[in-house]
Structure 1
Amino acid sequence: MTAAPVAAPVWSVDPRTGKRREQVAVEATDRVVDAAVRAAHEARGALADRAVRAAFLRTAADRLDAAGEELVAAADAETALGGTRLTGELARTCYQLRAFADLVEEGAFLDVVIDHPDATATPPVPDLRRYKVPLGVVAVWAASNFPFAFSVPGGDTASALAAGCPVVVKAHPDHPALSERVAAVLRGAAAEHGVPEGVLGLVHGFDAGLELIRHPLVAAAGFTGSVRGGRALFDAAAARPVPIPFHGELGSLNPVLVTEGAAAERADAIGGGLAGSMTLGVGQFCVKPGLVLVPAGAAGDGVVKSLAEAVAATGEGVLLDHRMRENVVAGVAERTALPDVEAPVAPGPAGEHTVGAGFLTVPAARLAEGDGHALLLEECFGPVTVVARYAGDAEAGAVLARLPGSLTATVHLSAAEAAGQGRGAGLLAELTSLAGRVLVDGWPTGVAVAPAQHHGGPYPATTSTSTSVGGTAIERWLRPVAYQGAPEALLPPELRDDNPLGLPRRYDGRLER
């Protein structure tokens, strides 16, 4: 008789030293994953009441707030992101949970539409009533760089629960101890409102993630991570006997274009702002500007000089794990070996466990011609960016035409261009085809949690057209259903004429609040 395989331990590791801190759990077996998904599936009914969902989300936020000091300390021990940054991120996460609670109570996300029969229409319209229902169990892959906002209690989890979907999270190996602590907080909040703790499952391990995406009771998935890992899961989701929606955020270059007029007007401000954005969080933001088009000539020289001074004054930093540090060091070395690539401030290894910030420069013609410099158009996750010096609008446009999809695209304009003179509007249109969020005279790091926010973009930035930040993130976990000719007594209350729940709706073509 063959002995059952021993589950591998899951360790919490200190990124500042690379040493193990504690064993947190063991990697989930197939049976453990199956049990977590089935428990989540059984918890669906407990989320049917919108009032319960809203109360659960608010209590989750309150409990996270109350445990904030302990959670921030646990997060810093595993990520080295620092107390100030993590305190702000936890506050953002709690705000997001409360914002979804408000959205659930309002009910507009249900998108209720009622059309009564109209025999005079061509073709005739029967009695039709449409709204949206939850998909079912949602699998979420936590991200490394936002241990609160894009992890166990993050936007994918919050929006799925708000939609009425239980969640099973595949914990990120960079912060397993924090993941367990946060999951316990959320389960406690669920229990307070009579919701089974199985409404939030948590599993560890690479193989557990594969089992999760294949599980027949998983109805949709949300992912934030690498292009390679996300694409593998995306393909697995599509290859299932019953394919499911896979909303993945994979990789993003986040290009920036500085016009000659803008460079001439405020070179120092642009260079300093770029340095702050590209080194924020040791360059570990998904919206870090990774390629910056700066004009050749004196105006652009001022931007590069300001950038060099600001980056050189930036201290070394610890990345989220040593594997990422190795990837940054190797990626920089490979890029600097390319012809005509220079490093005015060389990024790369600093101390034994740290990296120093820096940037590379290259003639934009190298990128426009596509002569073996395609690597510079790929994300390098760390405190490094590429400055491409362009000679004329046509050369800048040729580079933009070669770029992959991004989460963001930014343009810095002169005062006259911003006022509608010159090609400002044309540049805005050009960048719109590249990204889901287009910025003017700003920097992409910092994603506001607001109703109008869109955090997504053309592939490979994301695998769908949806957002993972803001209220409309809830739409990913819903599907529309229309009832035709159903008697009023049989309809769900959301679709009845007397509107007992007081929902916003479109009633015979009229928008009712």
Structure 2
Amino acid sequence: MFRLREPWRFTVAVPVAVPVWSVDPRTGKQREQVTVEATADHVDKAVRAAADAVPALAHRPARAALLRTAADLLTAERDRVVATADAETALGPARLGGELARTAYQLRAFADVVDEGAFLDVIIDHAHPSPATAPPANAARTPPAPDALPAPRPDLRRYKVPLGVVAVYAASNFPLAFSVPGGDTASALAAGCPVVVKAHPGHPATSELCAAILRRAAAETGLPEDTVGVLHGFQAGVDLIEHPLVSAAGFTGSIPGGRALYDAAAARPRPIPFHGELGSLNPVLVTAAAAAERAEAIGGGLAASFTLGVGQFCTKPGLVLIPAGSDGDRLVTALTRAAAEAPPGVLLDDRMRRHFLAGVRDRARLPDVTVPVEPGADGEAAVRPGFLTVPALRLTQDGPHELLTQECFGPVTVIARYDNDAEADAVLARLPGNLTATVHLSTAEAAGEQGTAAELIAGLTRLAGRVLVNGWPTGVAVAPAQHHGGPYPATTSQSTSVGGTAVERWLRPVAYQDTPPALLPPELRDGNPLGLPRRVDGQRYP
């Protein structure tokens, strides 16, 4: 006979608290337990608390004050933040100190954007009858039907409003500038959007420390602390992108991870914008004339660029097209010397180290690939930089050599030697979208005196979001004109994650038609009570 269990024998599933550890990449040993992974309930509470902060962020002066206070507090905690980040990333105090200064500058720059108000894109077209237009000379002289006449234009007023709660997925390679206090967070707060950050597992203690600083800044400026929240754990990232109160997301990371989140954002019952930076090869083309003019300087500059930060910059040049022949030989010789002298370094974590070593091994095994300076393991934790070479013709064909046109994260680059301009063009034509594309020209080419430099730049423009001439792509200046993005898979949208226009990702336009003046938002009222830049009846003010 079937019998029910006694009530006290029923068990209830209780979520197990999964610890989140801070790990020293130099030793691979756990440093401390920072927190526990967020459950679905934690995610829900964080998002709802952030949503409750939306009304308070509508006050632009408070947003500007929050950003500046966050910059001040981050700077005041410089030693503590840098020490914590270095212990978790091995990026070094000098690099991290510079990154902290950049992050503080970025926060202040977005405060200036908020104060100026031009990002609101205020446009006012007052109502008036449409002007009569004269008929063309050969038109029939019969008058048009009444319903064919242009209608009077209504009063229209347009500006941009914040989307709501923004989910930010932090990057591993910039624990400050592209993490909890980084550009996605700063630009979202500038737009008036609260932020919930999915912390990167590579630097959880740094994430918690920076989140505490931002929450303190919110409290000191009279805003809710939950204007900024932070969560840990893989499943928390999935739950966050699916939460119905999340209105947009920003991501910096790998192609597989970013694409999975992008697809999840699109598959929601109410899809949301997903601004992801996924991966980039950042090709470089060295013309024959440039190699003849300064092969040694280009080789040395390339070595410094692809080894910077142990090759862990998203703008690292991963494929360099150089001419075959004696001038190309000179460039490779200079690169060999400089790369061999570059010191080994520790990657962000053991997983990345393993992927780097496997990626180098798989590429070096391909036919016709040579290894002038072998990248690989250096002891139990570090890696040494190096580079590979291959005839460019191999990259114009389908087959296993396509691996060489995919990003390999770490201190390695691929030199492809082309026999003629058509061969170089064929390689570039096969590449996917990139963050950057660089061309090195001779003095005469740069002056427009010889060659087809303009055509080269036009071709690279189709390939990348930032085109460089006679420089190196590592390093992304925080400036109003900056663009850090590019065609897929570099990014999933055509916006930027660096520079003042990054704020546009978290806004949407709204137009008000024939709305009584007393009911208009202050930003759209006649008399411009907030002193905003605006365009009125086709004229810009101020």
TM-score of the aligned structures, taking structure 2 as reference length: 0.94
SS at match of 2:346: coil
Q: How does 1:338-349 map to 2 (within 5 A)?
A: 338-349=366-377
The answer for unaligned runs of 5 or more in structure 1 is none
| Residue aligning to 2:497 | 468
SS at match of 1:373: helix
CA offsets 1:3-62 (integer angstroms, 9 cap, x no match): 312121000000000000000000000000000000000001111110010011100000
Whole-Å separation in 2 of the counterparts to 1:39 and 1:150: 23
The answer for unaligned runs of 5 or more in structure 2 is 1-10, 132-149
> Is it true that 1:255 corresponds to 2:283 in the alignment?
yes
- Give the alignment partner of residue 418 of structure 1, picking from 422, 438, 446: 446
CA offsets 1:302-357 (integer angstroms, 9 cap, x no match): 11110010000011100000000000000001101111011100111111101010
Shift of 1:119: 1.2
- Give the alignment partner of residue 469 of structure 2, picking from 418, 440, 459: 440
> Is it true that 1:73 corresponds to 2:86 in the alignment?
no
Letter in 2 for 1:160: A
> Is it true that 1:188 corresponds to 2:216 in the alignment?
yes
- Give the alignment partner of residue 361 of structure 2, picking from 323, 329, 333: 333
- Give the alignment partner of residue 118 of structure 1, picking from 103, 122, 128: 128
| Residue aligning to 1:218 | 246
SS at match of 2:535: strand
Shift of 1:123: 4.3
Whole-Å separation in 2 of the counterparts to 1:320 and 1:170: 18
Fraction of identical pairs, as percent = 73
| Residue aligning to 1:305 | 333
| Residue aligning to 1:228 | 256
Whole-Å separation in 2 of the counterparts to 1:378 and 1:244: 28
CA offsets 1:178-203 (integer angstroms, 9 cap, x no match): 10001001100100111111110100
Whole-Å separation in 2 of the counterparts to 1:118 and 1:413: 55
**Bigger Cα Rg:** 2
| Residue aligning to 1:357 | 385
Whole-Å separation in 2 of the counterparts to 1:3 and 1:487: 57
Q: How does 1:396-411 map to 2 (within 5 A)?
A: 396-411=424-439
| Residue aligning to 1:5 | 15
CA offsets 1:154-208 (integer angstroms, 9 cap, x no match): 0000000000000000000000001000100110010011111111010000000
- Give the alignment partner of residue 56 of structure 1, picking from 66, 80, 83: 66
Letter in 1 for 2:532: L
Shift of 1:371: 3.2
Whole-Å separation in 2 of the counterparts to 1:455 and 1:277: 18
Whole-Å separation in 2 of the counterparts to 1:134 and 1:21: 40
| Residue aligning to 2:143 | none
| Residue aligning to 1:453 | 482
SS at match of 2:400: coil
| Residue aligning to 1:243 | 271
Whole-Å separation in 2 of the counterparts to 1:2 and 1:269: 68
Whole-Å separation in 2 of the counterparts to 1:369 and 1:226: 26
| Residue aligning to 1:37 | 47
Whole-Å separation in 1 of the counterparts to 2:130 and 2:423: 58
Whole-Å separation in 2 of the counterparts to 1:80 and 1:126: 61
Whole-Å separation in 2 of the counterparts to 1:90 and 1:130: 37
> Is it true that 1:96 corresponds to 2:96 in the alignment?
no
Whole-Å separation in 1 of the counterparts to 2:130 and 2:204: 62
- Give the alignment partner of residue 429 of structure 1, picking from 439, 458, 464: 458
Letter in 2 for 1:207: Q
Q: Which runs of 4+ in 1 moved over 3 A?
A: none
Whole-Å separation in 1 of the counterparts to 2:247 and 2:218: 21
Shift of 1:124: 2.7
Letter in 1 for 2:268: R
TM-score of the aligned structures, taking structure 1 as reference length: 0.99
Letter in 2 for 1:300: G
Whole-Å separation in 2 of the counterparts to 1:266 and 1:150: 35
Shift of 1:369: 1.9
SS at match of 2:530: coil
| Residue aligning to 1:509 | 538
Letter in 2 for 1:211: D
The two structures, once aligned, show a CA RMSD in angstroms of 0.6
